């Protein structure tokens, strides 16, 4: 049996979220239903699928960060290029490239709604 993962996030400002995911992280906008009564978009980045459904901000951005929130992890082939894309787009890096005790290197960013992303190298083997 095979499986895939699609995450659904709920930003209050859908346009700002789309700008971040497309322009900063390099996702592709595949479905755009911003004009519907329930604004929604679907994005992809390789095999990663992400849905964004506009909702009122009920918990605040701080509630989305670990340890109470979730850490979303994006594995990339070229970590330096991914970080350079983020900084070239003028986006703030929450924590820059760091080698971790578990053997991977990563950096961390927050999206406009406060969702916490760890962009990381792939494990070898």
pLDDT tens digits along 41-97:
999 999 999 999 998 877 666 666 666 678 999 999 999 999 999 999 999 999 999
Helix (H) or strand (E) holding 117: strand 116-120
Which range (57-61, 77-81, 103-107, 113-117) has the least confidence?
57-61
Residue 83 has a pLDDT of 97
Residues 6 or more apart whose CB falls under 8 angstroms from that of 29 comprise 18, 22, 41, 42, 43
Q: In this structure, is residue 125 part of a structural domain?
A: no
57: buried, middle or exposed (CB in 10 Å: 19+, 13-18, 0-12)? middle
What mean pLDDT do residues 4-21 have? 94
Q: In this structure, is residue 46 part of a structural domain?
A: yes
Domain of residue 15 covers 6-120
Q: In this structure, is residue 106 part of a structural domain?
A: yes
Task: Kindly state the DSSP code that residue 67 receives in the 8-state scheme.
Answer: T
Residue 64 has a pLDDT of 65
């Amino acid at each position: 049996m095979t499986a895939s993962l699609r995450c659904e996030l709920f930003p209050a400002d859908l346009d700002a979220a789309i700008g971040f995911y497309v322009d900063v992280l390099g996702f592709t906008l595949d479905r755009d239903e911003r004009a519907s009564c329930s604004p929604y978009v679907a994005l992809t980045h390789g095999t990663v699928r992400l849905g964004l459904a506009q909702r009122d901000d009920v918990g605040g951005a701080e509630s989305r960060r670990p340890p109470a929130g979730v850490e979303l992890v994006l594995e990339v082939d070229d970590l330096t290029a991914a970080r350079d894309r983020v900084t070239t787009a003028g986006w703030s890096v929450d924590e820059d490239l760091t080698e971790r005790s578990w053997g991977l290197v990563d950096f961390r960013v927050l999206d406009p709604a406060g969702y916490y992303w760890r962009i990381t190298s792939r494990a070898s083997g």
